[in-house]
Amino acid sequence: MPLQINSARRTAALVLALGLGLSACGGDDGGTDAASGSTTSSAAETSATESSAPAAPAPSSATEAAAEAVTVNAVDFDFELSEDSYSAGTYTFEVTNTGNMPHDFIVERDGAEVAGTEVLQPGSSATLEVTLEEGDYFFYCSVGAHRANGMEVPVTVSA
Ligand SMILES: [Cu+2]
């Protein structure tokens, strides 16, 4: 009776397979959770890498935005500014004396000097970084009577 032996072996094999199948199912559930968890964390790592990339070029980590560049030409006797409207923030003034007399570029608020360049001889230039806050400012030249002669620009900085 070889068929009976075979069927008995098959039954035993089925029981083994069911038992393995049940325990494998339990293992699969845990495995699926772990797999989805690792997928989420690897996605977070990818986005963290992307968001850290733009922060690298910023020279000063405290400021939230890069300084805005403003070109300033000092002439006899006036300032030519590439920007005529200012909002609170950090600016880099690139000052060039294109006149025939020495000039400087002073930033004043409420009668007090906030920042300023040295006196620039004709043809020379300087860079001045200033953080402007909301309020009323003057940009002026402190050389001789240049301010009274027209080298004064009132600036209202908006919020
Ligand atoms: Cu001047």
pLDDT in tens, 3-52: 454 555 554 444 444 444 444 444 444 444 444 444 444 444 444 444 44
CA 17 to CA 143: how far, in whole Å? 97
What is the whole-number distance in angstroms between the Cα of residue 125 and the centre of ligand 1?
13
- CA dihedral 81→86→90→92, nearest 10 degrees, is -10
What is the whole-number distance in angstroms between the Cα of residue 127 and the centre of ligand 1?
16
How big is the chain, counted in residues? 159
8 Å CB contact between 106 and 143: no
pLDDT at 9: 55
What is the whole-number distance in angstroms between the Cα of residue 86 and the centre of ligand 1?
23
What is the whole-number distance in angstroms between the Cα of residue 122 and the centre of ligand 1?
10
More confident residue, 10 or 126: 126
What is the whole-number distance in angstroms between the Cα of residue 140 and the centre of ligand 1?
8
What is the whole-number distance in angstroms between the Cα of residue 139 and the centre of ligand 1?
11
pLDDT at 66: 85
Q: Tokens at residue 25, please?
A: 């199912």
What is the whole-number distance in angstroms between the Cα of residue 77 and the centre of ligand 1?
6
E strands, 7-151, are: 68-75, 78-81, 86-87, 89-97, 106-109, 112-116, 125-132, 135-140
Could you count the other beta carbons within 10 Å of the beta carbon of residue 83? 13
Provide, rounded to the nearest whole percent, the portion of the chain with pLDDT above 90.
58
Prediction pTM value:
0.60
The upper half-sphere exposure of residue 125, i.e. CA atoms within 13 Å in the direction of its Cβ, equals 10
Mean model confidence pLDDT for the chain? 76
For 67-91, how does the pLDDT look when each residue is reduced to its tens digit (9 = 90+)? Answer: 999 999 999 999 999 999 999 999 9
